[in-house]
Chain A
């Protein structure tokens, strides 16, 4: 084998390895970037979930529901005497 083509092949293979390495490294970095973006999104969604849960709990405020039932719907508390017991046959 002549000297110059052999050197050419070796150098080409080396360059290919280097390029392959760069390609893989950039792919890893890209994946890592995507992962981090998703992590940030998860964090954001968790925050939104927490805000919504808080909003739901505020809406379920027992004292406000009681006031609404009394003042707006004019409801009265049920007493035991008002409850009709149906005997189970």
Chain B
């Protein structure tokens, strides 16, 4: 028989167990049912990892498959400020070798992660490795290497995060970078290095390589020649452009001042400009090739019509003062010699017969209109329209003033002459070929005549130095005063040379440009034409057109 005290005690124990089980059930309810979502998520976070990988940035190749931009890993050093184990050794090291990092550490001591430096130099890597500081860890980061620095202004650059910031790296960033892939992993509990299951949650895409029309070797050769000319004349600026008029492909395009895309710490952003496309200039007499073409097309002049250039440096045509350079002074000469000698008075007398149709022809040649080449920052240029003309405008337009153009537009216009009047847009993308217009913009007769005049300019005119034995060279020079503070400065000039080089089926258009040489009283015939001849010679040997 149980006594009362035993019953009470067993009752208490029973109640205690009931209470305990109630608490357990309650706790289970809270964990399993009420906070189910929270703990499920927490559990998934512990076992499942989601991570994103970026595909390697696609390379950029030249027309022969040579690298113009490729990937290269660099090292970055970082610390975890919240988990520093020996700040007493770290801080003096940072103070000595990475003072900026120490400043950032002082300002962000609560940060989870902090870079000490990125794209470390070999010397910095050696210092970090020799210091043996466990808090400093190294991380591999991709960045770009440019094997042909001479193509820097075309290719552009990426920033510290490998994102395109200028040039084609910027324009083609989405296709070069590709799309990142996101994975969900069920990782192992022990190492964390391996996983059980991998699931692709967001499907990525590899970057697409870019193939350019540029010839890396020719680009280098053109750049070397440009540098020599810049040094020789102590000039401030210069450019060279080589183009195939048959398909619009740009083979070389280089400018000075330049920059080394592999040394991003010392870059002057002004030097990263691709001046061939992003700068427009008043090109001077080189434009006479097109005012002459317009006059021939309209039938207002013939190649051998005598034009009185008055044998003077300065004269008045329709009450407007016209100057011509001393070297171009001539008397009564056939029209072809007006262009060959580049006489402003002669061309002014011819274009007054044209009137506003000169503007129409310039527009037809593509001046004042972008080429729509795939390159950021292209300029459209400007041609003064007839409704804004002064009494001087028609004359100014005939010898290359009141009209601004990029060197690429000039090359495009010369391609029209090279292509017997047919039009083609320039391109840098080998996978996007351009097609020539079927219908010529100018008559065959006008084109044949202007070609003959331009050839004579090389044989006996202002572009004699562009002559290359065994090749047909058609060229025009231009020397223009630069507008400084609203006035044309006779001491500050820009020199342009443009040529079409032919041999059989082979054709190239070359443009050379030099601006503000230290020496005064120079002409394009002595500055840009010798450069053009040297570039042409290198090009012909390189392309084995012998």
Residues of A within 8 A of B (CB): 29, 32-33, 36, 47, 50-51, 53-54, 57-58, 60-63, 66, 77-81, 83, 85
Interface residues of B in 510-528 (CB under 8 A from A): none
B503 nearest CB across to chain A (Å): 11
Flag if B469 contacts A80 (CB, 8 Å): yes
> Which label, helix, strand, loop or mixed, suits the secondary structure of the B interface?
mixed
- B147: A residues at CB distance < 8 A: 57-58, 60-61
Kindly report which residue of chain B lies nearest to residue A54, judged by CB atoms.
Answer: B72
Could you tell me the distance between the alpha carbons of A53 and B144 in the complex, rounded to whole angstroms? 13
Kindly report which residue of chain B lies nearest to residue A47, judged by CB atoms.
Answer: B73
8 nearest A-B residue pairs (beta carbon): A57-B147, A62-B220, A54-B72, A80-B537, A36-B194, A83-B546, A57-B67, A54-B145
Flag if A79 contacts B70 (CB, 8 Å): no
What sequence of 0s and 1s flags, for each residue 6-47 of chain B, a beta carbon within 8 Å of any chain A beta carbon? 000000000000000000000000000000000000000000
- B537: A residues at CB distance < 8 A: 79-80
Could you tell me the distance between the alpha carbons of A16 and B470 in the complex, rounded to whole angstroms? 91
- A53: B residues at CB distance < 8 A: 67, 70
Residue B224 at the chain A interface, CB threshold 8 Å:
yes
Residue B541 at the chain A interface, CB threshold 8 Å:
yes
Could you tell me the distance between the alpha carbons of A36 and B194 in the complex, rounded to whole angstroms? 7
Could you tell me the distance between the alpha carbons of A33 and B190 in the complex, rounded to whole angstroms? 14
Could you tell me the distance between the alpha carbons of A47 and B216 in the complex, rounded to whole angstroms? 25
Flag if B196 contacts A80 (CB, 8 Å): no
B90 nearest CB across to chain A (Å): 29
A69 nearest CB across to chain B (Å): 12
Flag if B220 contacts A33 (CB, 8 Å): no
Flag if A54 contacts B70 (CB, 8 Å): yes
- A58: B residues at CB distance < 8 A: 145, 147
- B120: A residues at CB distance < 8 A: none
- B220: A residues at CB distance < 8 A: 62-63
- A54: B residues at CB distance < 8 A: 70-72, 145
Flag if B196 contacts A32 (CB, 8 Å): yes
Residue B463 at the chain A interface, CB threshold 8 Å:
no
Q: A36-B194, A53-B70 in contact; A62/B541 too (CB < 8 A)?
A: no
Flag if A57 contacts B546 (CB, 8 Å): no
Residue B148 at the chain A interface, CB threshold 8 Å:
yes
Pick 25 A–B contacts, CB within 8 A, sort by A. A29-B196, A32-B195, A33-B194, A47-B73, A47-B140, A50-B72, A53-B70, A54-B72, A54-B145, A57-B67, A57-B70, A58-B145, A58-B147, A60-B147, A62-B148, A63-B149, A78-B541, A80-B468, A80-B469, A80-B470, A80-B540, A80-B541, A83-B541, A83-B546, A85-B470
Kindly report which residue of chain B lies nearest to residue A79, judged by CB atoms.
Answer: B537
A66 nearest CB across to chain B (Å): 7
Flag if A85 contacts B546 (CB, 8 Å): yes
Could you tell me the distance between the alpha carbons of A79 and B151 in the complex, rounded to whole angstroms? 24
B116 nearest CB across to chain A (Å): 23
- B206: A residues at CB distance < 8 A: none
Could you tell me the distance between the alpha carbons of A68 and B252 in the complex, rounded to whole angstroms? 24
